[in-house]
Structure 1
Amino acid sequence: MTKSGPTVSFTQMKDGTREDYELLEKLEQPFLAGTAGRLLKELAAQADETLAGYQITRLEHGLQAATRARQDGADRDWVVAALLHDIGDRLAPQNHDRMAAEILRPYVREEVAWVVEHHGIFQMAYYAHHYGWDPEERQKFRHHPCYQSCADFCERWDQSSFDPDYPMDPLDSFAADVCDVFARKAYDPSVIRPGVVLGLPSRQ
C-alpha cells in the first residue's frame, strides 16, 4: 500500500532519527484530538446492537446510566464514565470493564477509572448466585478506598439501567461532556487527583 504525505525514514523503530520522531509527534496530534469523535461514533454504532436477551440496546444502556448520573448531579467525570463504562463490550467482551477503564484513565479522576475497571466484579452481586458463582467476589476489595464508590455506581446507575421505558437523554446531549473530557491533557495530576475519593453525589 502506498501512503501519501510525509513518512519516516525507518523500517525498524530503533533506526529512527530525531526528525522521524518529531514528524510522528506532529502527525499524531490531530489523531489524538479526534479521540472523542471516535468514541461517540462507536457509541452510535451500538444503537443497532441489542444486548442478547435484554430489552434494550448497548447504546441505550449507556445512555440510561449516564442520564441517571446526570440527574443525580454527578460531575462530568462520572457522567462520561457512566456513558462509556461498557464501551469495550464489542471488542473485549470478557474484560470490557478493564478496556473501558484504560480508555478513560488518562483523562478522569483516578477514583472514576478504578470504579469502571472493577464494575464487572461488583455487578456480580446481582446475578452470580444464579450461576453458582460467588456473588460476594467484590469483598476482596472491601478495604479499598473506592469500594463504596463502585458499589454505589453499580447500584444507582448500572444495574438499574436496563429499562426500555426509561426516559434517557439522547447521545448528542452528552457530546460536549465527552469532548471536554478527552480534550484534557493526558495524565494531568490536577485531573487524575491520585488518592482523592469523592464518592457519588448524595441524592436529594
Structure 2
Amino acid sequence: MALSLDDIRHLFDAHGSMAYSGEPVTQLQHALQTAWLAEEAGASRELIVAALLHDLGHLLNLQGETPTERGIDDLHQYYALPFLRPVFSDAVLEPIRLHVDAKRCLCAMDPEYHARLSADSVRSLQLQGGVFDKDEARAFVQLPYARDAMTLRRWDDAAKDASRVTPPLSHYLGIAASVA
C-alpha cells in the first residue's frame, strides 16, 4: 500500500511530537530542520523531500523513545520504502535507503565526523554494523545516490537544534507533491 501525502501528514500529526531518540528535538522538528538545511543548500527538490522523509520509518515502526538504549535497530532506513516506492522516484528513495550506510562511510573516511556524532548516533552506529572498512567505504561511494546520501547524512546530524525555526510541514509537502 502506498502512502499518500495526506498519510504522511497524518503520521507527522500523530507521531511527530515524539522525542527524536535522545536529542533535544521532536521527530517533526528533526524532519523539518533536515529539509530546511537541504533547501538552504540549494538541493534538488527530490533531495529536499528525501531530507524531510529520511526518518519516516521511525514513525511507521514505533519502537518507543530511544530504542538504541534497549539494543534495538529499528531498520528505519528500509521500513518506509515499500510505502513510498509507488509515490516517489529513486532520487528520493535511494538517499533515504542509504543514509544509515552513509554514516558508516563518513565515519570511515573522516575521524572528525565520527567524533562529532551524538551519543545516540554512536549507539545506533554499532547496531547498524559499525564503521565501514576501507573497501566497504570505497564500494559505497560508487553507488548511485551515495553522494546525495552522504550530504543528507550531514544535514541529518545538524538537524537537532531545538531553537531553529523552519517553514511548516505544509511547505515541504508542497515540494513533495511536485515530485510525486
Residue 156 of structure 2: which of 155, 158, 164 is its match? 158
Amino acid at match of 1:172: S
Give the CA deviation at 1:129: 6.2
Give the CA deviation at 1:46: 2.7
**CA–CA separation in structure 1 for the residues paired with 2:167 and 2:157:** 18
Aligned residue number for residue 106 of structure 1: 86
Map 1:13-24; keep pairs closer than 5 Å: none
Of structures 1 and 2, the one scoring higher in RCO (CA 8 A, sep 6+) is: 2
Residue 117 of structure 1: which of 64, 75, 97 is its match? 97
Alpha-carbon contact 2:47-2:95 (below 8 Å) kept: no
Report the structure, 1 or 2, having the larger helix content. Answer: 2
Aligned residue number for residue 51 of structure 2: 82
Alpha-carbon contact 2:95-2:149 (below 8 Å) kept: yes
Aligned CA RMSD, in angstroms, stands at 2.7
Gap runs ≥5 in structure 1: 1-30, 183-204
Which structure: larger Rg?
1
**CA–CA separation in structure 1 for the residues paired with 2:86 and 2:144:** 20
Gap runs ≥5 in structure 2: 64-73, 108-113
**Count of aligned residue pairs for this structure pair:** 150
Amino acid at match of 2:96: V
User: TM-score scaled by structure 2?
Assistant: 0.70
Residues 85-114 of structure 1: CA deviation (Å, up to 9, x unaligned): 111103336111112333333333324322
Alpha-carbon contact 2:47-2:148 (below 8 Å) kept: no
Alpha-carbon contact 2:47-2:91 (below 8 Å) kept: no
Alpha-carbon contact 2:49-2:92 (below 8 Å) kept: no
Aligned residue number for residue 135 of structure 1: 131
**CA–CA separation in structure 1 for the residues paired with 2:84 and 2:54:** 9
Distance 1:109 1:90, change over 3 A: closer
Residues 132-172 of structure 1: CA deviation (Å, up to 9, x unaligned): 663226614233232222112212x2111111122222112
Aligned residue number for residue 167 of structure 1: 165
Aligned residue number for residue 146 of structure 2: 147
Alpha-carbon contact 1:102-1:113 (below 8 Å) kept: no
Residues 62-101 of structure 1: CA deviation (Å, up to 9, x unaligned): 0001111111222221121111111110333611111233
Alpha-carbon contact 2:54-2:96 (below 8 Å) kept: yes
User: TM-score scaled by structure 1?
Assistant: 0.62
Amino acid at match of 1:40: R
